[in-house]
């Protein structure tokens, strides 16, 4: 596989590409060694990869909503299946409802963060 410098027929090294915040997002030397980087909106490095195969990935990984819903349903089913004593059913349901409310609060906070990120992206495009 050819490197970016090889594809662009670059002959002057080191070859660097920087983003609009002056962060180095790609580096390549004359030996073909390369590194690429990603940065968040605060200029913190969140991802790097090099030609030696070393990868550092600190990007936020969102869990798809369908997966979260499946986990919640599974949690409820497992909890209800464990109940053998009908007198403990109300106590167990209360516990499950508290856990579900916690997950809903977490998802709401993710939505706020998501909306903030979308607004930043739209703002940068305008």
**Rounded-to-integer distance, Cα 29 and Cα 68, Å:** 44
Domain count, the chain: 2
Return the H-helix or E-strand segment holding 2. none
Pinpoint the alpha helices (H) of 3-88: 4-7, 65-82
Domain match, 46 and 98 both: no
What's the rounded mean pLDDT across residues 76-98?
A: 65
Domain shared by 69 and 42, yes or no:
no
Query: Is the same domain home to 104 and 84?
Result: yes
What would the pLDDT profile of 63-76 be if each residue is shown by its tens digit? 666 676 777 777 77
The DSSP code sequence of 110-125 is HHHHHHHHHHHHHHHH
Q: Tell which of 20, 35, 57 closes a domain.
A: 57
**84 has a pLDDT exceeding 60:** no
Q: Does 110 or 5 have the greater pLDDT score? A: 5
Does residue 86 share a domain with residue 116?
A: yes
42 contacts 20 by C-beta, under 8 angstroms: no
Domain span including residue 51: 4-57
Residue 61 has pLDDT above 80, yes or no: no
Please give the model's pTM, rounded to 2 decimal places: 0.50
At 109, phi and psi to the nearest 5? -65, -35
Dihedral pair phi/psi, residue 45, rounded to 5°: -70, 125
Q: Are residues 71 and 119 in the same domain?
A: yes
Amino acid 70: pLDDT: 77
Q: How far apart are CA 43 and CA 22, in angstroms?
A: 9
């Amino acid at each position: 596989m050819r490197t970016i410098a090889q594809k662009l027929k670059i002959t002057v090294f080191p070859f660097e590409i920087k983003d609009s915040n002056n962060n180095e997002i790609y580096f390549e030397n004359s030996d073909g060694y390369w590194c690429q980087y990603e940065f968040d909106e605060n200029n913190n490095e969140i991802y790097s990869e090099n030609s030696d195969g070393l990868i550092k990935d600190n990007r936020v990984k969102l869990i798809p909503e369908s997966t979260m819903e499946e986990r919640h349903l599974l949690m409820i089913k497992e909890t209800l299946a464990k109940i053998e004593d009908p007198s403990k059913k109300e106590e167990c349901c209360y516990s499950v409802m508290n856990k579900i409310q916690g997950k809903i609060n977490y998802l709401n906070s993710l939505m706020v963060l998501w909306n903030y990120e979308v607004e930043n992206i739209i703002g940068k495009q305008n």
